[in-house]
A and B are shown apart, each in its own frame.
Chain A
């Protein structure tokens, strides 16, 4: 192995990859949320459909889409490798252990929370991304593919709404630990800034996930 592969297959190197991709995915969440807020525009979904059309065809967005995919792939791959390594690092479990005395629940369950997010992602991508890109969706009043209708119809099903709310709760807990953890992994700690990063990360996680969870709830209860 040369130095490069050695670095990024070490435990610290893999964590650095996870932290960089994790923070990158956080930036994606912001863009995704802001775009999706057009669902709340009172125009029968015209603005949202134009936005979706743009996201599906603009060459810059399409390129970033590949970067995003790679971000997910590396994040999930290293999550898988490290979580497995961490399990084998303790082959015999303690008979009695009280982890809540020394650490938070989310920090101990990042793999579980990540898996919930992954299951959600697959269903979510199939339902919206896959059908928007490759499916046959009827046009709206302006002749644009009416993805808005797909959203509204999806969120009439209670189990679909439940899936979204559970997944967003999982994402919130994932990020409550993950956001500040990423800065620690990158060695970006400082007496002056770390308290701010921790507070910001907490607020970020809760607000972003609430923002996403409101959408299915809104269409289920008010439509």
Chain B
């Protein structure tokens, strides 16, 4: 990140923000003018400024998700000017800076839109569907016993790298938000292939693929049309190769597992 720029001029902006009281109320876009925003602020800091304004006026501040503000936790979301996490590729909203916007610009801010991610309030959506998919099999349930010696289980570096790349998924849901089908395939594929590639994860690979995909379908996410929108908007660059691997894992599991009932 560049240091603060003394020449950067404060910006005036118009925000169009989705406001919704609670899950059962209808929502609407509300327009807020905002003055004197520093280009060095992050997008969330800009919203903090707006919320302080609203509080001073006695209005309800805008509810939005955030936690680490360091791009690692996956809590922040926001569909900004028609893009998940805003116009910059490979960034979360907390890592997006106002210098990427210009003075006088109108910025639309919407929550993730998916049947499986119902809006809680304003810009906050309920992403617990992801938790339930994880609970369906996104873990290794073997007893680990004592600490094994380093390098006791040889894993080729290329495989370790791929598994690690898949493991960087922060569960933000931008893939669902960006996909025209609100499909969760990129998320599920990252979770499935990360474990399927490593020896510890291989023991349960069949039940994992079967159960996680079944849960994904139950939650009401759409199917994959291979548009690639997910990978293009993913803040950590999870690759489409993982979706190909998930397809292999799932069909392989379905055709060869002992599970005849479902």
Chain A hits for B225, CB < 8 A:
86, 107-108, 110, 181
What is the minimal beta-carbon distance from B83 to any residue of chain A, in angstroms?
A: 6
B155 at the interface (CB under 8 A from A): no
The residue that A89 contacts in the complex, of B83, B183, B260, with Cβ under 8 A, is B183
Distance in Å from the Cβ of A31 to the closest Cβ of chain B?
A: 26
Minimum CB distance partner of B81 in chain A: A96
Known: A6-B262, A12-B213. A93 touches B113 (CB 8 A): yes
Stretch at the interface among B5-13, B92-100, B226-234: B226-234
Is A208's CB within 8 Å of the partner chain B? Answer: no
A-chain residues with CB within 8 Å of residue B213 when the two chains form the complex:
10-12
Chain B proximity mask over A177-193: 1 for CB below 8 Å, otherwise 0: 10001001111110000
Asked if A159 is at the interface (CB within 8 A of a chain B CB), the reply is no
Asked if A92 and B82 sit within 8 Å, CB to CB, the answer is no
Q: Which of A98-106, A122-130, A134-142, A162-170 contacts B (4 or more CB under 8 A)?
A: A98-106
Interface segment, one of A13-21, A47-55, A65-73, A148-156: A13-21
Evaluate contact between A184 and B244: CB separation under 8 angstroms: yes
B73 beta carbon closer than 8 Å to chain A: no
Q: CB-CB < 8 A to B182: which residues of A?
A: 86, 89-90
The interface stretch among B52-60, B137-145, B246-254 is B246-254
Asked whether any CB of chain A lies closer than 8 Å to the CB of B29, the reply is yes
Most buried by A among B110, B116, B180, B259: B180
Count residues on chain B whose CB falls below 8 Å from chain A CBs.
Answer: 51
Determine whether the beta carbon of B108 is less than 8 Å from that of A96.
Answer: yes
A99 touches B180 (CB 8 A): yes
| Docked-complex contact B115 and A88, CB < 8 angstroms | yes
Size category of the A interface is 35 or more
A7 at the interface (CB under 8 A from B): yes
Give the residues from 211 to 255 in chain B that come closer than 8 angstroms, CB to CB, to chain A.
213-214, 216-217, 220-229, 232-233, 240-241, 243-248, 250-251, 254-255
Counted as pairs of residues, one from A and one from B, with CB atoms less than 8 Å apart, the total is: 145
In the complex, whether A94 has a CB less than 8 A from a CB of chain B is yes
Would B82 and A94 count as touching, CB distance under 8 A?
Answer: yes
Question: Do B261 and A185 have beta carbons less than 8 Å apart?
Answer: no
B130 within 8 A of A: no
Q: Is B187 an interface residue (CB 8 A)?
A: no
Contact B244 A189 (CB under 8 A): yes
Asked whether B254 lies within 8 Å of A3 as measured between CB atoms, the reply is: yes
- A7 to chain B minimum Cβ distance, whole angstroms, is 4
Q: Once the chains are docked, how many angstroms separate the CA of A38 from the CA of B222?
A: 44
Contact check, B229 vs A11: say whether CB atoms are below 8 A apart.
no
B114→A89 contact, CB < 8 A: yes
Partner among A1, A13, A184 whose Cβ is within 8 Å of the Cβ of B226: A184
Contact at A89–B221, with CB atoms within 8 Å? yes
Question: Do B181 and A90 touch across chains, with their CB atoms under 8 A apart?
Answer: yes
- In angstroms, how far is the closest chain B Cβ from the Cβ of A146? 44
A63 at the interface (CB under 8 A from B): no
Chain A residues 78 to 121 lying within 8 A of chain B, measured CB to CB, are: 82, 85-86, 88-99, 101-104, 107-108, 110
Return chain B residues, CB-CB under 8 Å to A187.
244-248, 251
Known: A86-B223, A91-B115, A99-B229. A12 touches B250 (CB 8 A): yes
Decide if B223 touches A82 in the complex (CB within 8 Å). yes
In the complex, whether A2 has a CB less than 8 A from a CB of chain B is yes
Report A's interface with B, CB cutoff 8 A: 1-3, 6-7, 10-16, 82, 85-86, 88-99, 101-104, 107-108, 110, 177, 181, 184-189
The 19 listed contacts between A and B (C-beta, < 8 Å) are: A1-B262, A10-B254, A15-B247, A16-B247, A85-B222, A86-B181, A86-B223, A88-B115, A92-B113, A94-B113, A95-B16, A98-B83, A102-B229, A102-B232, A107-B226, A184-B240, A185-B226, A189-B241, A189-B244
